[in-house]
Amino acid sequence: MPSLLKRASPTITDMIRFDHSHTLITYHQYTADKMSVTKRSLAETICAALEIHATLEEEIFYPALQAFAASEPVLQKSEPEHQAMRALIAQIRSTDASLPLHAELVHKLMQEVIHHVADEEAVLLPMAEQRLSKQQLCELGAEMTKRRMELVAPQAGKLAVNTFVGMSGSTVVKTIGAIAAVAALGMLGQHKRPVKS
């Protein structure tokens, strides 16, 4: 990987924080008044994001911490927590989204995620930022980006559909739509202006 790309990449810790935020934002869209198809899409978006995130941490982030934090309790329990989340993800996927059990499982998964995120953001991420140089953090971020693309590619279509269906009624999508509409109107207005000679 070219060294410029490694230096220009976001740090691995910033990328992990972004993943955490993305998952929590998606979860906040999962509400009781949503249709079953929307709940299913939101849950699948959360599940896929968590699976990819866990794999990236296990393959790239946690090994980078092993050299100086192997005995850290938060690091030692991180992979077992990922396995518990994967078990819940399997249950969510096998449960009809119209059943109350589906929502219970999604909420239980997110309780575990929130606990896990709190540990990582309070302990592991600051530790990595103290012990690794900015260049190392950026190189790990570039490695994470490359590996993420490999993990996302086989399921990109499914991820896009679930994200669109899940977020289609959300304030975020409406806001983006409004901004796009205003921008499009602005562009149309520019085309109608007479050209001065």
Residue 140 CA from chain centroid, whole number: 17
The answer for residues whose C-beta is within 8 angstroms of residue 69's C-beta and 6 or more apart is 75, 124, 127, 131
Where residue 189 falls among pLDDT bands split at 50, 70, 90? Answer: very low
The radius of gyration of the chain's CA atoms, rounded to the nearest angstrom, is: 20
DSSP code of residue 60? I
- Asked whether residue 140 is assigned to any structural domain, the reply reads yes
Give me the pLDDT at residue 177, please. Answer: 46
- Asked whether residue 174 is assigned to any structural domain, the reply reads no
- Asked whether residue 185 is assigned to any structural domain, the reply reads no
Encode pLDDT of 41-93 as tens digits: 999 999 999 999 999 999 999 999 998 999 999 999 999 999 999 999 999 99
The owner of tokens 């410029």 is 4
* Whole-number Å distance between alpha carbons of 54 and 189: 47
Encode pLDDT of 102-155 as tens digits: 999 999 999 999 999 999 999 999 999 999 999 999 999 999 999 999 988 876
- Asked whether residue 192 is assigned to any structural domain, the reply reads no
Number of independent structural domains in the chain? 1
- Residue 156 sits in a domain of what CATH number? 1.20.120
- Asked whether residue 135 is assigned to any structural domain, the reply reads yes
Dig out the tokens for 130 from the structure: 């103290």
* Whole-number Å distance between alpha carbons of 68 and 143: 20
Helices (H), 30-168: 36-56, 62-69, 73-93, 100-119, 125-131, 134-152, 156-167
- Asked whether residue 137 is assigned to any structural domain, the reply reads yes
* Whole-number Å distance between alpha carbons of 128 and 13: 8
- Asked whether residue 58 is assigned to any structural domain, the reply reads yes
Q: What is the pTM of this model?
A: 0.78
Task: Kindly tell me if the per-residue pLDDT of 169 is higher than 70.
Answer: no
- Asked whether residue 176 is assigned to any structural domain, the reply reads no
Rounded to the nearest 5 degrees, what angle is found at the Cα of 147, between the Cα atoms of 144 and 170? Answer: 80
Q: Domain limits at 10?
A: 3-166
